[in-house]
Chain A
Amino acid sequence: MLYNKQTYHAEKLLVEWCRTGNPVELNVTRQDGLKQYRRLFRNNIHNTLVQSFPIAFEVLTEDEWSQLIDDFFATGKVTDGRVWLMAGNFYEFVVVNEYAAIFNKPWLDDLLLFEWVEIEVHTMNDIPKEHFLTSGDLFNDIIEINPEYRLITLEYPVHLYAAEKTVEKKGSYFLLVYRHPENFKVKFSNLHPLAVVVFEKIRLERKSLKQIIDEMDALQETPIDDTQKLELQSFVKQMLEEKAFLGFKSYYKN
C-alpha cells in the first residue's frame, strides 16, 4: 500500500495525540477509539517503567509518578528500539529536567540511578575476560577483576535506607554492581572508600594488594594500620568468593 502524505499526516497526529493527550483533528477514526489508543500506549510506557523502577514507584506519590510518566511520554527521547534501554532514557530525562528539585526529593536521581544500574548490568553485553588462575596469593598476586560491573557513587544511601531517611545521611557512598559470571545474577556491594581505592588501583594500575598498600603507606601521612590491612585482605577474599574478582593474573610461560 502506498504510504501517501495523508497517511503520514494521520500517523503524525495520532502519535501526537497518544503522547501528549492534546486534542487533534483526526477524522479517520472515532474519538472514543482514539482515547483507547492513548491509554494503551501510555500503559506500555507506564508498566515498563514501573517494572524498571519499583522502588521509585513505591516512594513517589501518585501525582509525582504520573507527572513523570506523562512528561516523559510527551517529551522524552527514547534513543533505541530496545525496550530495556528506555529505563536509562527515563533516568536521564528526570535528571536533566531536575525533577528532584521540583519534587523537593533530592535523593530521586540517586534512587533512579541505583535502579537503572541493575538493569544495565544485567543486560550489558558480555565482556571478554582475561585468562586467570583460581588460586594464588591474596597479597602478592595481581587480581583479575570481573569486567561486567559498574562502580557508582551516590550522595544519598538509597541502597541502604528508606529514601526519605537518606536526606540526613548525605555523603559519599560507593556501590559496586556486578554480574555473577556463573548464574548471571546482579549483585550489589557497598564499598568502604579504602576498598574503592584498592579496587580502582587494581583495575587501572594492575598492582597487587601489597604494592597498593605499600604505595599508600608511602603517600599518606597516616599509614594504613594493621586492622585496615586485615580488612583489605578480607575484602579481597570476599570479592573473590562473590566473583566480583575472578581470580589471579595468569602469566603464560612458553
Chain B
Amino acid sequence: MENKIKKTTIVTGSILASALTALTVTNAEAKTINLGSGSELRSEIIDLNIMSSSKSVYEMKCGSESMEKGKAQKTEKKAKEGKAVESKCGEGKCGEGKCGGNAKKSSKTTNAKASKTESKKEAKGKTTESKCGQGKCGAE
C-alpha cells in the first residue's frame, strides 16, 4: 500500500529511468512549457474544469490581450480567495466564518445530513469569508 504513494522526495534515478522510457514513446503533450505560478495555473485549471473542455492550459494561455487582462484580474481575485499556499497555511481560516449569518444558517439545519456535511455551496461562501481571529468561533 505504502509504495503507491508517490513520495515527493523522489528516489534517485527513478525519474531518470521513466524519462528515458518516455523518450521512446511519441507524445504530443511532451513538450517543455512554463506553466506560470501556482495561482495562475490553478485558476486556469479550475476554469478548464468548470468548462470541462478538452482545451489545454497551452491553449488557455493563448488569446487576445484583453482576454489576458481579464484573466489576470480573475487570477488575482482567485489567488486572494484561493489556496492555503497563498494565504499561508496554518495562519489560515478558523473554519467557522464570521459568526452570525452563515453560522446561524448552518446551525439551524442540523438534521442528520446537514450536521454531517456542510453543503458545498455554503462551504464555498465560508472559505472565502472567514479569517482566523475574526469572529467568535463557536458563539451562537
A52, B23: Cβ atoms closer than 8 Å:
no
User: Does B118 touch A at the CB level, under 8 Å?
Assistant: yes
Stretch from A4-12, A129-137, A159-167 at the B interface: A159-167
A24 close to chain B: CB less than 8 A: no
B56 within 8 A of A: yes
Tell me, rounded to whole Å, the shortest Cβ–Cβ distance linking B135 to chain A: 12
Name the interface residues of A177-223: CB closer than 8 Å to any CB of B: 185-197, 200-201, 204
B6 contacts the other chain (CB 8 A): yes
**Is A165's CB under 8 angstroms from B54's CB?**
yes
Cα distance A123–B49 in the bound complex, in angstroms: 26
Give the residue name and chain of the B residue nearest to A174 (CB).
Answer: B19
Give the interface size bracket for B toward A: 35 or more
Q: Are B116 and A70 in touch, CB under 8 angstroms?
A: yes
Task: Tell me if A139 counts as interface (CB < 8 A to partner B).
Answer: no
Contact with A along B93-123 (1 / 0, CB 8 A): 1111000000000110010000111111001
Q: Is B72 an interface residue (CB 8 A)?
A: no
Kindly provide the distance from the CB of A121 to the nearest chain B CB, expressed in whole angstroms: 9
A204 to B137, CA, bound (A): 50
User: Min CB distance, B12 to chain A, in Å?
Assistant: 7
Q: Which residues of B contact A58 (CB under 8 A)?
A: 46, 49-50
Please classify the interface of chain A as helix (H, G, I), strand (E, B), loop, or mixed, using the class held by over half of its residues: helix
CB-based A-B contact count at 8 angstroms:
237
| Tally of contact residues, A, Cβ under 8 A | 82
- A231 / chain B contacts, CB cutoff of 8 Å: 32
- 30 A-B residue contacts at CB 8 Å? A35-B110, A36-B107, A39-B115, A43-B126, A46-B123, A47-B130, A48-B89, A51-B84, A62-B119, A62-B120, A66-B117, A70-B117, A95-B6, A153-B6, A160-B57, A162-B45, A165-B54, A171-B22, A171-B27, A171-B29, A172-B22, A172-B30, A173-B30, A186-B37, A186-B85, A188-B41, A189-B35, A190-B31, A193-B22, A195-B32
Supplied contacts A190-B33, A200-B15, 18 more A-B pairs, CB within 8 Å: A36-B138, A44-B96, A46-B118, A54-B46, A66-B120, A70-B117, A109-B4, A113-B8, A159-B35, A160-B56, A160-B57, A165-B52, A171-B30, A186-B85, A194-B23, A197-B16, A201-B16, A238-B32
